[in-house]
Amino acid sequence: MNAKPVIITEHLFYYHRCSRRSFLDYRQGVVPQPERSRHREQVTGRWPGVAPAYQPPDWESGFQATLELMRQGVPAIHQGVLQVVTPAAVLVGRPDVLIREPGSSRWGDWHYRPLEIRLGQRPKPEYQAVAAFHSWLLAQIQAVWPRWGELALPGPRFLRVNLEQALPPMHQMLAACLDTLKQPDAPEVFISRSRCQLCPWLDYCSTVAKQKHHLSLVPGVTMKRYEELQTLGLNRIDDLAQADPLRIYNATSLGINTSNKLVRQAQAIAQHQALSVAPITRLPQANIGYFFDIEADPYLDCVYLHGVLLVTPQEQKFYSLVAEQVHQEGRIWQELLTLLERHPHAPIYHFCPFEPQTIQRLGQRYHTEPQRIQAIRQRCVDLHARLVRSVVLPVENYTLKAIARWLGFGWQHPRADGAQCTQWYNQWLHTGDRSYLQALQQYNQDDCFATYHLYRWLVDFMSTQTPPAVHRSTG
């Protein structure tokens, strides 16, 4: 007789986002660990406590150690283990904090309630499902229901979860998750640009998707659009590349512009080349230009690095304006203004709207004259907006890294990203080890040079291309 499946909190949590991840974690015995963050440290610091001594995945030892702490009535238990054996499965919960409260239970005149520490800004369904899951497990173990589940979101903000409302969808999700984990094969692969970037299975799933020429590799193909395209027999990239946009438009909810662009995008991938999709507009150009990239930590509410590549006919010079301490944000802001105003008519190229938005915010924070901010913002040129308006590339997403790598540009820290930069900055603040500071400055410098690399390519491409004919609705 086969042993009962063991479902842990993370299986349920990730099931709502991606059933395939839950399946792969389960089959490979992966036990995700909570991410370290300043938010987590702030929240756990409010409830000093102890953690049970055990080594995952020895859940039974962790459960027994947690039970002993609950019997003792310790004020708070960090990363405790809750375990309930049902006829269908062994259910294991790992609440971030168990907080003691007055009220009778099997232990005496106290009981525990769960607190979940999450990094999102809103109480997502998977957050509420986990809070309900841990509350249900607690009710079975301590013989009394906690009054509520609770979420600690950044701020920190503490939000109560209505268990009466959250329990039914949690049980439905748990049953569906258990059914998925019992299947012999993993759920179908689907690469989602928003949800897959931080998943440890991304490289594996991307390889599977590429082998299948899966449509999810086409930027713009969401799950809903994928399902609609499948009804037309369009299952692979080559199918979409050969499709008639008018047929897609007439048979689905997709508009004619979207249908045109998706087909053109699939053609770019199939042909391994860049293709124009709309009338080409020339980029603002000058003999002198700035290429600008910012690094910031939202939890510290600090812009800690301005990277500026100044390109003139004589040289390319990079400036790294870094706040070695959080309170130096204002100083590097003034240094940035001085640098950008050195050539008051030079375009300021950036990738996505974050840079001009941050300029506006910092100008307000440090009471900079509005006319100075307006003058700088009017010089900003968003290369991402210019690119996606007119060109499709044979890439899986339109991040700076994906585009610049296709163009042949490489980063010295190839797996780093903005989140890694913020982690380096926090490690610098905690340790004073300058290697962390140097790593994030190098990463930022590479971002600026990648932006310049993209600019040069875009100028060349737009000067040689003519837009294609597009299908238009006759309705």
- Lowest-confidence range among 356-360, 372-376, 385-389? 385-389
pLDDT at residue 30 tops 50? yes
Tokens read off for 342: 């050195």
pLDDT at residue 36 tops 90? no
CB contact at 8 A, 88 and 6:
no
Domain 289-407+416-464 has CATH 3.30.420.10: yes
Question: What mean pLDDT comes out for the span 432-439?
Answer: 95
More confidently predicted of 104 and 464: 104
**475 — pLDDT class (breaks 50, 70, 90):** very low
pTM above 0.85, yes or no: no
Question: What mean pLDDT comes out for the span 312-332?
Answer: 97
pLDDT at residue 420 tops 70? yes
CB contact at 8 A, 285 and 347:
yes
Question: What mean pLDDT comes out for the span 49-71?
Answer: 96
pLDDT at 298: 85
pLDDT at residue 236 tops 70? yes
Evaluate whether 6-182 and 289-407+416-464 have a shared fold. Answer: no
What are the sequence ranges of the domains in the chain?
6-182, 206-272, 289-407+416-464
pLDDT at 155: 86
Sequence-ordered list of residues with C-beta below 8 angstroms from that of 214, at least 6 positions apart, any chain: 189, 190, 191, 208, 236, 237
pLDDT at 472: 54
What distance in Å separates the CA atoms of residue 186 and residue 184, rounded to the nearest whole number? 7
pLDDT at 71: 96
Q: Name the burial class of residue 233, with classes exposed (0-12), middle (13-18) and buried (19+) by CB atoms within 10 angstroms of its CB.
A: exposed
Tens-digit pLDDT profile for residues 329-373: 999 999 999 999 999 999 999 999 999 999 999 999 999 999 999
pLDDT at residue 399 tops 60? yes
Tens-digit pLDDT profile for residues 82-133: 999 999 999 999 999 999 999 989 999 999 999 999 988 899 999 999 999 9
**For the chain, how many residues are written?**
475
Which of 396, 410, 395, 419 is closest to 449 using CA atoms? Answer: 410
Tokens read off for 47: 């409830």
Give me the torsion for CA of 377, 380, 384, 387, rounded to 10°: 130
What distance in Å separates the CA atoms of residue 62 and residue 181, rounded to the nearest whole number? 23
What distance in Å separates the CA atoms of residue 349 and residue 402, rounded to the nearest whole number? 18
Tokens read off for 35: 């991410």
pLDDT at 465: 66
Buried b or exposed e, range 50-84, using 16+ CB within 10 angstroms: ebbebebeebeebbebbbebbeeebebbbbbbbbb
pLDDT at 24: 97
pLDDT at 43: 94
Domain 206-272 has CATH 3.40.50.970: no
pLDDT at 468: 53
pLDDT at 196: 87
Question: What mean pLDDT comes out for the span 267-273?
Answer: 96
Q: Name the burial class of residue 11, with classes exposed (0-12), middle (13-18) and buried (19+) by CB atoms within 10 angstroms of its CB.
A: buried
Which of 307, 304, 11, 318 is closest to 174 using CA atoms? Answer: 11
Arithmetic mean of pLDDT over the chain? 93
pLDDT at 464: 79
**462 — pLDDT class (breaks 50, 70, 90):** confident
Tens-digit pLDDT profile for residues 134-179: 999 999 999 999 989 999 999 899 999 999 999 999 999 999 999 9
- Lowest-confidence range among 134-138, 253-257, 407-411, 418-422? 418-422
- Report the top-level CATH class of 6-182: alpha beta
pLDDT at 474: 44
- Three-class secondary structure assignment of the chain: CCCCCEEEHHHHHHHHHCHHHHHHHHHHCCCCCCCCCHHHHHHHHHCCCECCCCCCCCHHHHHHHHHHHHHHCCCEEECCCEEEECCCCEEEECCCEEEEEEEEECCEEEEEEEEEECCCCCCCHHHHHHHHHHHHHHHHHHCCCCCCEEEEECCCEEEEECHHHHHHHHHHHHHHHHHHHHCCCCCCCCCCCCCCCCCCCHHHHHHHHHHHCEHHHCCCCCHHHHHHHHCCCCCEHHHHHCCCHHHHHHHCCCCHHHHHHHHHHHHHHHHCCCEECCCCCCCCCCCCEEEEEEEEECCCCEEEEEEEEEECCCCEEEEEEECCCHHHHHHHHHHHHHHHCCCCCCCEEECCCHHHHHHHHHHHHCCCCHHHHHHHHHCEEEHHHHHHHHEECCCCCCCHHHHHHHCCCCCCCCCCCHHHHHHHHHHHHHHCCHHHHHHHHHHHHHHHHHHHHHHHHHHHHHHHCCCCCCCCCCC
- Percent of the chain clearing pLDDT 70 (strictly above): 97
Question: What mean pLDDT comes out for the span 467-474?
Answer: 51
53: Cα within 13 Å, side-chain hemisphere = 0
Sequence-ordered list of residues with C-beta below 8 angstroms from that of 154, at least 6 positions apart, any chain: 39, 119, 121, 298, 299
Q: How far apart are the first and last CA of the chain?
A: 64
**1 — pLDDT class (breaks 50, 70, 90):** very low
Question: What mean pLDDT comes out for the span 200-224?
Answer: 94
327: Cα within 13 Å, side-chain hemisphere = 0
pLDDT at residue 279 tops 90? no
CB contact at 8 A, 237 and 266:
yes
CB contact at 8 A, 140 and 84:
yes
Question: What mean pLDDT comes out for the span 401-425?
Answer: 90
